[in-house]
Structure 1
Amino acid sequence: MQKITGKRTLRFVYPVIGIVILCIVWEIAHQSGVFDSTLLPGVVTIIKSLLDLLVSAGILSDIGWTLLRAFGGFALAVIVGVPLGISMGMFKPIYLSTLPLVDFFRSIPVTTLYPIFVLLLGVRDASKIGMIFTACVFVVTLNSAYGVTQAKPIRRQMASLYGCSKYKILRLITFKEALPQTFIGLRVALSLSLIVAVLGEMFMGCEFGLGQRLTDAYTTFSVDRMYALVFLTGLIGFLLNRLFIRVENYFVPWAGL
């Protein structure tokens, strides 16, 4: 019992140690004179700006709109990418015919497609969600396909011998065997969705959003506020990742076994 308690304590202690080390290194860099102190504020100044942001009501709208755009593009990527990936993994002709296209578009940085999205969808939320969807869908598709191709075919063969229909084999065996790898793709795509959402807001502009607040802080030379927004975005991404791991452990408890 004491060993379990000790391990749980260490699980919380190690991240704190990492944060403390980062703050110390940051403060040393700030006070060393290597960087201009106005361009690299101290840790205390950034924390004060971060707290000011968190207690202000306006930042809640920015966070909400950024997450709404991120989740919108991510949800569309899941709806399209998972069925497409499973189809690619199950049927070799589909795999061979679509893999070059998926690899080609996956290799294009989504930020280079920004002018195309603006021309086709305008500068409103549709173009931002389109960019997020494009960044995420190929990651989800490839990981879902890989999960199916790496599954052991003997399970499907045994189920077929015992009279299971193709639908049951797909639902009970193929889909579940692909889930661990699919969730890896979903986890990467979730991080990408937040990154591209903020980038889209910075490129295209909007009334609300963390990317717009970052642009405002940069253009008005509010350096401490800019760093605070960067750390706030990172904190949101970290919390989303932790939450997703809990969801993954719930739906795929057998992963890694």
Structure 2
Amino acid sequence: MNQSILPKLGVGTFRLEDEVAYQSVMMALEEGYRHIDTAQIYGNEEAVGRAIRDSDIAREELFVTTKVWNDKLNKEGFIDSVKESLRKLQLDSVDLLLIHWPSPESGEPMDEYLGELHRAKELGLTKYIGVSNFTIAQLQQALKILPEGSLTNNQIEVHPYLTNEKVREFCVQQGITVTGYMPFAVGKVLKDETILAIAKKHNVSAAEVVVAWELAHGLVTIPSSTKRANLATNLKALELTLSAEDIARIDALDCNDRQADPDFSPKWDI
């Protein structure tokens, strides 16, 4: 997947509901974001859809991602769930459709749900397809199942305390774009002394440093915020260039401090 197809910086909507999600997406679009990330399980596709509609931004200017939840990873429910997502989003198709977790509720085989993912693309419900939270072994399996070149994205947790280098390196080798979610590790890394020192040196915020670090590694990233000022600040990271030394210092903070680790998680690569 060409990096230019997936905007480098998007806005995430995890844990944002109803009016809060609506306002966050509206503010993000007003500030200049054009990449919005949501998911069926977030319960906010309807609010995201309303914000997109009310923004009056042309559809072709936007990049919208959603993800299929674990209970729909089967032939019975998959396509209908995607159509329901589109109804809520008030869109004819999304730009990127992901498998949210490699954890089907009823243990369906990967070839079943990836077959449905590919079918969603063939039906025109999505332009691109990808996965989320997949390990190297699962990506290897997926690459054998899906037509060559169709697996475009793996969305995984990446921040200075969890750099996830092994999976990232594998994705680069395979031409799979990586989206790093939870870039701030739920705010933890924004208080880190090393990051604060680098921020002070550049006269910017800790958030800008973290987002710039993700971008410097060729990652797409999707920080979320309910505050206009923070959304604007995150966007300013596109203008910040970190030195090789800055990047190395942040890389060295990796301590495998994973934030998203539900009981149905795969066996992570370490």
TM over 0.5: no
The TM-score with structure 1 as length reference comes to 0.23
The TM-score with structure 2 as length reference comes to 0.22
> Which structure's residues are more often helix, by fraction?
1
Structure with larger Rg: 1
Report which structure shows greater RCO (CA 8 Å, sep ≥6).
Answer: 1
